[in-house]
Amino acid sequence: MRNHQGSRTCAYTHLLSIRHQGALPFLVVPMKIIVLCTGNSCRSQMAEGLLNSFHPRIEAYSAGTQPAGEINPNAIRVMREIGLDISGGRPKTIDAFLDQPIDYVITVCGDAEENCPVFQGHVGRRMHIGFPDPADATGTEEEILNVFRQSRDDIKAKFHELFESELKAKLDARD
């Protein structure tokens, strides 16, 4: 159950905090991941969609330090090419997540890494996996789309590597 800002309701957050204390062993807790970028219009949105496709118990969100007005249409287009629809998302500020328990905070651009805010809730691990901004691409429409495709493929490869090398085992350990 999500509220209008995409964050979990207070009751669910309370259950998560109780589960983290070991009081509810039967509650299957999803792995909560925040992917942070500056504008939250390309790289972080693609990473969110990809992470959520890797495992049903991954609960990935994306946010920005200075969110754009909309998701870049080219990001939506290249994600649809691989069967993932991110058109229902929207750029959002990281502020909505600062007081929540989060397993991973992953920055995907240098500016977000340098300006990553302090989270008040529990953060399991912070990491940076950087990618060039496809929104900076110039050229013909096809050349620009190829840059977005390359970015999508790079994001998919790096995040799938993280999933296989670390996330999958942590999810299995929660069972």
- Which of 29, 68, 82, 116 is labelled catalytic? 116
- Which of 16, 76, 94, 109 is labelled catalytic? 109
Does the annotation count 37 as an active-site position? yes
- Which of 34, 36, 37, 108 is labelled catalytic? 37
Does the annotation count 10 as an active-site position? no
Torsion, CA 91, CA 97, CA 7, CA 128, rounded to 10: 60
Does the annotation count 116 as an active-site position? yes
Which positions are catalytic?
A: 37, 109, 116
